[in-house]
């Protein structure tokens, strides 16, 4: 386990899991984190997390998310449950919060008291947290920045290209 984990990113992941307890799987969490960084670039000119998303198969993916999840599991903040599919040799993962912590104050502290950034997290949760995974994938995969990225190319590095995609993400539509 590497020790170079970013406190803000760790806190955002814990916040999402706490607020969407049992709803999030690996892919759903990854796409919410991607949208958070995309929208953060629009509002604050930089991503909130330290994650680097690359185009993997169809859309954005960051392997570093697993390091954060393992750290949260190691500290017993979350439980990771793997559930087998019926009639298929696959499993799906769900994340559950183990400890009730004062997550709102922890998030605000990690964000240096910036309530606008916390509001962004809440908007992502409220708009995209409880939609189906397929709906979320459709939204993310339809973004031009995702479509234009080549396989294994880092997405969100070119902040100027993000502008057009963000206009498509309207919280009022959900």
CA distance 53 to 170: 22
Q: Give mean pLDDT, residues 7-13.
A: 96
pLDDT at 164 over 60: no
Residue 82 bridge partners (DSSP): 93
The arithmetic mean of pLDDT across residues 4-8, rounded, is 92
Q: Look at residue 128 in the predicted model and tell me its pLDDT.
A: 96
pLDDT, position 103: 81
- What is the reported pLDDT for 142? 93
Q: Is the pLDDT of residue 11 over 60?
A: yes
- Quick: pLDDT tens for 36-87: 999 999 999 999 999 999 999 878 999 999 999 999 999 999 999 998 888 8
For position 174, what pLDDT does the model report? 34
pLDDT above 60 (res 151): yes
Residues 95-148 pLDDT 10s: 999 877 788 888 888 888 889 999 999 999 999 999 999 999 999 999 989 998
**Can you give the pLDDT at residue 173?**
40
Q: How far apart are CA 59 and CA 33, in angstroms?
A: 13
**pLDDT value at 10 more than 60:** yes
DSSP for 17-83 reads: HHHTTTT--HHHHHHHHHHHHHHHHHHHSS-SS---EEEETTEEE-THHHHHHHHHHHTTSEEEEEE
């Amino acid at each position: 386990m590497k020790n170079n984990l970013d406190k803000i990113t760790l806190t955002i992941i814990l916040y999402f899991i706490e607020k969407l307890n049992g709803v999030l799987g690996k892919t759903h969490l990854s796409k919410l984190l991607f949208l958070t960084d995309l929208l953060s670039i629009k509002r604050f000119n930089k991503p909130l997390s330290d994650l680097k998303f690359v185009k993997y198969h169809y859309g954005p993916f960051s392997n570093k998310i697993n390091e954060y999840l393992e750290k949260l599991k190691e500290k017993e903040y979350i439980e990771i449950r793997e559930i087998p599919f019926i009639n298929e040799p696959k499993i799906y993962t769900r994340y559950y919060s183990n400890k009730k912590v004062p997550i709102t104050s922890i998030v605000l502290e990690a964000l240096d008291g910036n309530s606008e950034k916390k509001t962004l997290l809440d908007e992502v949760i409220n708009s995209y947290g409880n939609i189906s995974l397929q709906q979320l994938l459709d939204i993310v995969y339809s973004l031009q920045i995702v479509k234009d990225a080549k396989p294994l190319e880092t997405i969100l590095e070119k902040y100027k290209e993000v502008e057009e995609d963000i206009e498509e993400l309207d919280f009022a539509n959900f």
